[in-house]
Structure 1
């Protein structure tokens, strides 16, 4: 089953980038698991070390969650982006179908050439 955070009273969605003190990525990652409003978290490359998908009841609640994250040992700073509208919902079927089409076309199709064009 797929649960909707909005249906659970948490319609605000934000992506929080966390910058972490070097050597503390594992501890901060484990601490994020104790925050129920974090529905996903990933270590990343780029401007931050961790990216968390956060849900909240409203903007005030979101600020409270962010303040909780900032107080975690090892978190240096955060940057938050609030989602306005979902444009493509989480899905895997198009990928599965694409992989199936590629596999059915044979090994030459995945190399970018049609069969017999050697």
Structure 2
């Protein structure tokens, strides 16, 4: 599932403590039943179902399966710093269309963009860098940071 990130709402919705606890339950196990969540947070199954649906409808949360790239045949991951001449947002939009590019952010600092890629192998990584990123007219420079070992990946932020 690809999700295009929109501009942040300057006044983000406030979460009450019960909604935060519901989100924490789903972060621990996205398949946890509404009844089990209700028991943990002190609400009925129906009330949890309604709250989760509102969170989903608002776009504040999504429930997805997260794979381990190594175990499904993608042996190379990298973060690529990208410098551009001109409109960084336009280049970010072009890169976001690429299926192997998992993450695109516009940054301040040494790079205009940071791009995370998940590839089959080094040849695939080279193809993405040379043919999909550096070939864009506005791209002036890239620097690759190849992942050697993943020590932590967490999606538990947002409620604490």
CA RMSD, Structure 1 to Structure 2 (Å): 1.5
The residue matched to 1:73 in structure 2 has which SS? coil
Higher strand share: 1
Is residue 28–residue 73 contact of structure 1 (8 Å, CA) maintained in 2?
A: no
Q: Please give the TM-score of this superposition, normalised by the length of structure 1.
A: 0.73
Q: How does 1:45-84 map to 2 (within 5 A)?
A: 45-67=108-130, 68-84=132-148
In the TM superposition, structure 1's runs of 4+ consecutive aligned residues that sit over 6 Å from their partners are none
Q: Please give the TM-score of this superposition, normalised by the length of structure 2.
A: 0.55
Q: Number of paired residues?
A: 95
Structure 2 unaligned blocks of 5 or more: 1-64
Alpha-carbon deviation of 1:6?
A: 2.6
Q: How does 1:23-38 map to 2 (within 5 A)?
A: 24-38=87-101
Corresponding position of 1:102 = none
1:6 aligns with 2:6: no
Higher helix share: 2
The answer to which structure, 1 or 2, has the higher relative contact order (CA under 8 A, 6+ apart) is: 1
